[in-house]
Structure 1
Amino acid sequence: MRVLHVVTGLASGGAERQLQLLLRHLPAHQHCEVAALTNPGAVAAALSAEGVTVHHLAMRGNRDLGALPRLVRLIRAGRYDLVHTHLYRAQLYGRLAARLAGVRAVVSTEHSLHAGVIEGRPVTRGVKGLYLLAERLGTTTVAVSRQVAQTLHAWGVPQARIELIPNGIDAARYHRPDADRAADRARLRTELGLPPESWVVGGVGRLVPGKRFHVLVEAVAELDDGARLVLVGEGPERAALERRAAELGLGERLVLTGERDDVPELLAALDVLAAPSTAETFGLGVLEGLAAGLPVRHSACPALDELPPTAAPQARRIPSDAAAYAAALRDLRHLNDHNTDPLPRPPAVGHYDIARVAADLGALYDRLAAA
């Protein structure tokens, strides 16, 4: 089976990284290629290095209609059995191009949808209308959480056209021998300028307003014990976070790493993972923290909301404000001071293992292609 994944761009975002991870684990009989409408960034380079064919459509903007015939020609020439689209712009152009090229099986994954927000932007009447028109050109829309599935259905997408297949994590990458983990912890603390005995709070994600990382800056500033804050990611809020840290006297206690490919290793340098975002469609960072054996404090995680509390006892949901996070971090510091041993891996990690998720997606491909 030949599958073409169409994605808006291939920079280092959550949806793009999830696509890269899926392509490593889909069944071998499903040959996958990727077409990026624009911005073939870090993930495009990584995919190419892993042997995946990446096509660049050189789209100049949302209204560059010339990208449509280029995509149609690519799909026809590739003789793909199934087209799978990711992210809003690729969903619009990819579904239409697939139909014009004669492909019958068209899947789309909805990675980031809330009632009034899609991919971090407000949903206007026009945006919603175009989305629903394009959805009718597809075969199935994959929701990455029950919350996304419910939003799609509330928008008017028939339940029969929605398939719930969650995001996944590469659990094996986070399961490291104690000696390797200790070596990573020492090496990365030195690299990041963190004192070996310091207590380190971490956050992972794009530096955008919706992640609410300013809450962690303010919370750690309230701690009077020299705690450090490490934020892994890049984005437009970087300067604002640095200014707020300077105002609060956080100084060298804040470390911004930028984009990194070694998140599993970086997590070994932390003592707790904190996620103050209130609007998540899945909560991948929370699952990664749990896989790394960290205690987690979060404000939204649909992935855990869909499981019983016993699936992740080391994760606790708290309000997304500085006072609540400061109090929770003080309590954690008291409980695990100087204890660097990872916590046991909770059942939630196995539930969302990428091998299991990719197998479910591969079975969907087979079913649709045979219909």
Structure 2
Amino acid sequence: MNAGLENGGGLTHIVNLLTEAKKQGENYELLTLAEGPVAEAAKKAGITTHILGANGRYDLASLKKLKNFINEGGYDIVHTHGARANLYLSLIAKKVKAKWCVTVHSDPFLDFEGRGFIGTIFTKLNLRALRKADCVFAVTQRFANLIVKKGQLNPKKVHVIYNGIFFHDDSEIPAKYEHTYFNIVNVARTEKVKGQELLLKALKKMDDPHVRLYIAGDGSKLEELKALTRQLDIAPQVTFNGFMTQKQLKNLYRRMNLAVLTSYSESFPLVLLEASDNQVPILSTDVGDIQMMIPDEEHGFVAKIGDVTSITAQLKKAVDMPEEKLEEIAIREKEYLSSNFSIKNQLHSIQAVYEEL
């Protein structure tokens, strides 16, 4: 169950999981509160999809409809993704027969940061929902520790399940385009938590006109970031691509030398798994459980969180590296990730908890 308006990693996570379940003949269905990108993507993937038809973001009048949908459908487990789905389920939890699981995709204390009093209220409501759930999946050990200690959740009901994706054989990946510059891609919503301003400042600090940056994402900070590129006098080096589909991203990866995330907070970022699948080496700030994804410098690049100097140093290291060595890192990283973080592994781990419940 999801609100249905998600357009990033959450959408990919849900649709991939349900696609793998369908492949394995498991009886899973999707419910979205409203029409939107999630239902559209799920239907395209052939997943049984229901739309509750909530009017507006917080249409609490639809709670009775939701309760009836779950009870009359005879569902054993309801698995919510996202704060709004969590809130809806928390308000009817005692009236539904199904067990309730939640996936915590991001830091619940930062999800509504910068939204003032309303943000504080939503944070409290989301944490209250997590405490009510029968089981909580945290996508990193750090998140698990955080919600147990700071969120005061019962540790017995918190399970760490790392994200996974469908990895492709190298023969399925389109050949790279020849290109003149050293191209860097950042696939992320343009929001404060994603730290793109750090990346722009690091690009300025590098002072290397041979480097080009592509920011693929949309969000509330987009215009501010464009203004910052002009202020830093690096506008000719930066392209803002806006939101891109998976097909568009695959094409963009064909001329990328490095994929970068400079976030202040992340879980286990799917976008880096996807970049690696497309044979692009990865660089990230030390967020979430990134050390599980990039175990050492033979597999990628890790910079300190919020530290422009550290980000600059890691970027420079990648840019100055011989092309063959960078390619070796990309190949090694994909082999490691595909062995450990496939969608199949993720689904099996989740199912084990469902059966236990």
Instruction: Give the TM-score taking structure 1 as reference length.
Output: 0.82
Residue 210, structure 1, aligned to residue 208, structure 2? no
1:344 is aligned with what amino acid?
I
Residue matched to 1:118: 111
Gap runs ≥5 in structure 2: none
Closer, same or farther: CA 17–119 of 1 in aligned 2, 3 Å? farther
Match of 2:340 among 322, 341, 351: 351
Residue 19, structure 1, aligned to residue 19, structure 2? no
Residue 169, structure 1, aligned to residue 183, structure 2? no
> Could you tell me whether the CA contact under 8 Å between 1:47 and 1:54 is conserved in 2?
yes
Match of 1:233 among 193, 217, 221: 217
Give the number of aligned pairs: 347
Residue 277, structure 1, aligned to residue 263, structure 2? yes
Q: Tell me how far apart the structure 2 counterparts of residues 273 and 336 of structure 1 sit (CA, whole Å).
A: 17
Moved more, 72-81 or 321-330: 321-330
Shift of 1:270: 0.9
Moved more, 233-242 or 315-324: 315-324
The equivalences for 1:66-145 within 5 A come to: 66-97=61-92, 99-103=94-98, 105-114=99-108, 116-118=109-111, 120=113, 126-127=121-122, 129-145=124-140
1:237 is aligned with what amino acid?
K
> Could you tell me whether the CA contact under 8 Å between 2:183 and 2:258 is conserved in 1?
yes
The equivalences for 1:293-332 within 5 A come to: 293-306=279-292, 309-310=295-296, 313-332=299-318
Gap runs ≥5 in structure 1: 1-5, 190-195
Residue matched to 2:203: 220
Residue 159, structure 1, aligned to residue 146, structure 2? no
Q: Tell me how far apart the structure 2 counterparts of residues 98 and 33 of structure 1 sit (CA, whole Å).
A: 19
Closer, same or farther: CA 236–118 of 1 in aligned 2, 3 Å? closer
Residue matched to 2:319: 333
> Could you tell me whether the CA contact under 8 Å between 2:2 and 2:80 is conserved in 1?
yes
Shift of 1:312: 6.0
Shift of 1:97: 3.5
1:210 is aligned with what amino acid?
V
Shift of 1:140: 0.8
Closer, same or farther: CA 62–341 of 1 in aligned 2, 3 Å? closer
RMSD: 2.9
> Could you tell me whether the CA contact under 8 Å between 1:267 and 1:292 is conserved in 2?
yes
Shift of 1:243: 1.7
Residue 360, structure 1, aligned to residue 349, structure 2? yes
Q: CA offsets, 1:175-197, max 9 Å, x none?
A: 4339x532xx32xx8xxxxxx22
SS at match of 2:29: strand
Match of 2:231 among 227, 247, 265: 247
Residue matched to 1:256: 240
> Could you tell me whether the CA contact under 8 Å between 2:194 and 2:263 is conserved in 1?
yes
Q: Percent identity?
A: 23
Q: CA offsets, 1:295-346, max 9 Å, x none?
A: 3322133233347834963232345344433333233222135888463233
Q: Tell me how far apart the structure 2 counterparts of residues 58 and 67 of structure 1 sit (CA, whole Å).
A: 8
1:304 is aligned with what amino acid?
I
Shift of 1:21: 1.0
Residue matched to 1:193: none
Closer, same or farther: CA 309–49 of 1 in aligned 2, 3 Å? closer
